[in-house]
Amino acid sequence: MPPDVREWLPANHLAWFVIDAVGEMDLDAFYAAYRFDGRSRPPYDPAMMVALLLYAYARGVPSSRQIERACVEDVAFRVIAAQQRPDHATIARFVANHQDAIAGLFGEVLTLCARNGLAKVGVIAIDGTKVAANASRNENFEYEQIARELVERAIATDQAEDELYGEARGDELPPEFSTTAGRRGWLREAKKRLQAERSANPQPVRRDRSKRLKQAKRGLDEELWTEVRANAAYEAWRARGIAADGSRRMAPGMAKPYTPPPTPPGRVNVTDPDSKVVKGLRGWLQGYNAQAVTNEQQIILAAEIDNVGADFGHLEPMLDAAQHELQAAGVDETPGVLLADAGYWHSEQMANVVNRGIVVLIPPDTSRRRTTRRNWEGGHYAFMRRVLATEHGGALYRKRQPMIEPVFAQVKFNRGLGRFRRRGRGAVRTEWRLITATHNLLKLHTHMLAVAAA
């Protein structure tokens, strides 16, 4: 290998581009989690860890163990890691500890795209794809079934302990500790051994013991005083919700407490409780509904997660998410045309979007389950059919498929990120935003290469 690391890769390699892109990002949320007083073990540089994650997901390598191995075997990973070798546990803890900050990388990459003219919003498209969760569909159970299995497991545990311990509890002390004389004898022997060890290895006399005791006492007094004040404040807050007769009442501004039902409805997955059974292109799967908004350059403008299989009701929320991301990226433009498939037909949300001055093109759903809705929709279906039948309306709607469906194909099939690795809706949202951020990063890298070649 060349002696200089900068000669290991060509100048236009993606690794150098990722390093430069991370240098332009605001990483204060990552650095704020670490101490600057020199105490404890110094961590890996957060900028290096962020670049390592972005490059790994851009190359379709989401596994922390695969990343650890690549930092040894892959030249590009070694360049990004600066010849360091973080282990898989460190990488996994970094992702878990900085979940919100990693989700915010989506906005940082979108800002870079906006600076280079890739965040145009003349025509945008909304769609969703079903992504498998890190859970098995066979692990969905009803509440009563889970409770019954827990009871059966407890009974089996009791039977096994009865066979092992008999009439005893199983946590009794050894015979030498069961009597006072036995305990005192054991303690005397332990004290003699400790004194012998201290005599063999004398410790230096600490002259500042009284000073340290005073400091410790002062710290305990401050902690006790803080606890007393906190308890007093809590009791004052509780007193606001107690009526004159001693009964509880709702204090001003207090939210009504949630009362869970006696039996949770439906089925729950014991591996990932937030995931649901959703219908994908190849049948039903245990996963999430990953929503995205793209423009004509296939740049993802918003990425969110839901565990409801249907796309119905996501039209306006995804538009709001896209406008929020664009404003944070410094783009003040308003979308002109919004495209979506028939699953997003929602008359109220469509009317709200049109009132913002945005043209909505959604084909009416002709399935049987929508026939009754067609009666009270009035002429909305007929009007949308007439618009889509025009040359201009048809040409606009034909942009939807090449704008957003290839994005899902690139993510799920080309990069092999068709299954989430983390569990829980918040963790899955972070992973989806990281996946979509690396998609935008790859698009930006291709754009910069084309500009340099021109």
pLDDT value, residue 371: 45
Closest by CA to 281, choosing from 364, 420, 405, 369, is 405
Partners of 303 in beta bridges: 292
Partners of 280 in beta bridges: 283
Query: Cβ atoms within 10 A of the Cβ of 349, count?
Result: 18
Please tell me the pTM assigned to this model.
0.75
- Which of 146-160, 192-206, 360-374, 417-431 shows the highest mean pLDDT? 417-431
Q: What token pair was written down for 120?
A: 């145009």
Which residues lie below 8 Å from residue 433, measured CB to CB, with a gap of 6+?
A: 102, 103, 105, 106, 303
Q: Answer yes or no: is pLDDT of 366 > 90.
A: no
Q: Percent of the chain beyond pLDDT 70?
A: 83
Q: What token pair was written down for 24?
A: 């332009």
Partners of 142 in beta bridges: 267
Which residues lie below 8 Å from residue 256, measured CB to CB, with a gap of 6+?
A: 250
Q: Answer yes or no: is pLDDT of 8 > 90.
A: no
- Give the burial string for 95-113 (b: 16+ CB within 10 Å, else e): beebbebbbbbbbbbbbbb
Output 380 or 249, whichever has higher pLDDT. Answer: 380
Bridging pattern class, strands 300-306 and 283-295: antiparallel
Q: Assign 407 to helix, strand or coil.
A: helix
Q: Where are the domains of the chain?
A: 5-98, 105-136+272-453
> For the chain, how are helix, strand and coil distributed in percent, rounded to 5?
55, 10, 35
Give the angle 71-76-81 at the CA atoms, nearest 5°: 50
Q: Assign 286 to helix, strand or coil.
A: strand
pLDDT value, residue 100: 93
- Find where tokens 């299995």 sit: 149
Rounded to an integer, what is the distance from CA 387 to the centroid of its chain? 40
Closest by CA to 319, choosing from 350, 289, 363, is 350
- Which of 188-197, 248-257, 299-308 shows the highest mean pLDDT? 299-308
Instruction: Find out whether 437 and 104 touch, Cβ atoms under 8 Å.
Output: no
Output 161 or 289, whichever has higher pLDDT. Answer: 289
Kindly list the distances between the CA atom of residue 133 and the CA atoms of 185, 279, 312, 442, in Å, as whole numbers in the listed order.
59, 13, 21, 25
pLDDT single digits (tens) 53-99: 999 999 999 999 999 999 999 999 999 998 899 999 999 999 999 99
pLDDT single digits (tens) 261-274: 666 667 888 888 88
pLDDT single digits (tens) 162-172: 888 887 777 77
Q: Answer yes or no: is pLDDT of 258 > 70.
A: no
**Interatomic CA distance for residues 300 and 282, integer angstroms:** 25
- Find where tokens 């030498």 sit: 176
Number of H helices, E strands in the chain: 18, 8
pLDDT value, residue 17: 95
DSSP state of 26: -
pLDDT value, residue 139: 85
pLDDT value, residue 71: 94
Average pLDDT, rounded, for the chain: 84
Instruction: Find out whether 131 and 429 touch, Cβ atoms under 8 Å.
Output: no
Output 296 or 2, whichever has higher pLDDT. Answer: 296
Q: Answer yes or no: is pLDDT of 208 > 90.
A: no
pLDDT value, residue 309: 84
